[in-house]
Amino acid sequence: MGNGIAHVLALSGYDVLLSDISQDALDAALDTIGGNLSRQASRGKIADQDVKAAMGRIQTTLHLPELGQTDLVIEAATEREDIKQAIFDEIQPHLLPHTILTSNTSSISITRLASRTDRPERFMGFHFMNPVPLMQLVELIRGIATDEETYAACKGVVDRLGKTAASAEDFPAFIVNRILMPMINEAVYTLYEGVGNVRSIDQSMILGANHPMGPLELADFIGLDTCLAIMNVLHDGLADTKYRPCPLLTKYVEAGWLGRKTQRGFYDYRGDAPVPTR
């Protein structure tokens, strides 16, 4: 999601320093951002000159400590706590005294991440929805030590982006995924138990509940590994069997069928049109 976050920040006038693990990843991110900005301009959402101006505000680096000289760090790595912690560990010695650290995590404890840094009062959850340029909500999650000044600064960024902030308490999966992921997991159970097939389940929720996308298609869009990780956080953190991940979801992840990003999940995306895999 990092390229989407960089996109909206640069478009709103912020200077952005984007980091990733390889130059290929950074080049792909810039291509994606440029393409998405151009698409917005072609649809009259932004002016043509805004595309060039926004791209001019984005710099890239492979050297993570360089991010320490910024005012706000938004970590958007994969949903694994050890990876997120390693990023904060590497960047921490290089931070300015006033730098705010945030995580785009969709489920991991902000309090726990913050407690391992030197600035838990200047640490909070900054959870964008995907795709970032289109979705209007940002969840702001205070850790137990987050101070009011940090919250106000992050709320100011959300306001400047033209998005809406929802304040969430630091409990597993916060608000959106606390509600969304059990629904997706239940859709997978419905498939697993043979109540319906992939297409009938998704059509039922699109036409019967007026959802813009079926839950299994949505799971593919999010990434089945991310869905499983969030369900495990809910199950482990709340110790309630209603959050037990469906074995079929686990099986798909074990197969490497993670959704759109691997071309196969509950749908096969390798042809001209998605085809259900069950």
Which pLDDT tens digit goes with each residue over 123-153? Answer: 999 999 989 999 999 999 999 999 999 999 9
Whether residue 85 has pLDDT greater than 90: yes
Measured CA to CA, the distance from residue 41 to residue 32 in angstroms comes to 14
- Average pLDDT of the residues in 81-91: 96
Active centre residues (catalytic): 106, 127, 139, 177
Q: How confident is the model at residue 79 (pLDDT cuts 50, 70, 90)?
A: confident
Measured CA to CA, the distance from residue 70 to residue 66 in angstroms comes to 8
Q: Which domains does the chain have, with CATH numbers?
A: 1-169 (3.40.50.720), 178-276 (1.10.1040.10)
Q: How confident is the model at residue 72 (pLDDT cuts 50, 70, 90)?
A: very high
Which pLDDT tens digit goes with each residue over 92-101? Answer: 999 999 999 9
Measured CA to CA, the distance from residue 146 to residue 101 in angstroms comes to 11
Query: What's CA 105's distance to the chain center, in Å?
Result: 6
What is the model's pLDDT at position 263? 97
Which pLDDT tens digit goes with each residue over 2-47? Answer: 999 999 999 999 999 999 999 999 999 999 999 999 999 999 999 9
Nearest-5° Cα angle at 231, 227 to 236 = 150
- Average pLDDT of the residues in 226-233: 94
The whole-model pTM stands at 0.88
